[in-house]
Amino acid sequence: MRALFDSIPLEKMNTSMTINAPAAWLIALYVTLAEEQGADLKKLTGTTQNDILKEYLSRGTYIFPPAPSLKLTADTIAWSLDAIPKWNAMNVCSYHLQEAGATPEQELAFALAAAIAGAG
């Protein structure tokens, strides 16, 4: 993380991470680096996809089964609300569901259900 963001002031930029399963630990690394830089964490802006259910449903690339995945997603969102309030802790991404065979209606239903479940 240090090498990636060398000489880049994190509190003055917006970072988008299209990452799911490792989202929680990437946020931890990012926030740790921001702290090392002396950044005001309340100013950090960015997004982690953190849509672990989509990975489970459509791609088969997941680390934990659904229940622990939802807990990790919800815990990440809950922590972010206070610690890094301008951060988008979850971005629901549903296009992979259609690629896996879902109809547009099913894609929308799964996306909404994932957002609701992730929010707690």
With respect to residue 5, please indicate whether it lies within any of the assigned structural domains. no
The larger pLDDT score, comparing residue 79 to residue 62, is at 79
- The predicted-structure confidence for 54-64, as pLDDT tens digits, reads as follows 777 777 767 77
Contacts of the segment 111-119: beta carbons below 8 A, 24+ positions apart: 111/54, 114/51, 114/53, 114/54, 115/90, 117/53, 117/70, 117/73, 117/74, 118/50, 118/51, 118/53, 118/70, 118/73, 118/74, 118/77, 118/90, 118/92, 119/74, 119/77, 119/90
**pLDDT, average across residues 20-28:** 87
Residue 78 lies in a domain: yes
Segment 5-20, tens digit of pLDDT: 999 999 999 999 888 7
Confidence band of 44 (pLDDT split at 50, 70, 90): very high
User: Would you say residue 72 lies in a domain?
Assistant: yes
Residue 110 forms part of a structural domain: yes
Residue 27 has pLDDT above 90, yes or no: yes
Residues 67-77 have pLDDT tens digits of 888 888 889 99
Is residue 2 a part of any domain in this protein? no
> 9 lies in a domain?
no
Query: What's the pLDDT band for 118 if we cut at 50, 70, 90?
Result: low
**Is 3 contained in some domain?**
no
Considering the domain boundaries, does residue 49 fall inside one?
yes
Among 14-18, 21-25, 48-52, 83-87, top mean pLDDT goes to 83-87
- Domain carrying residue 93: 15-119
How many domains, the chain? 1
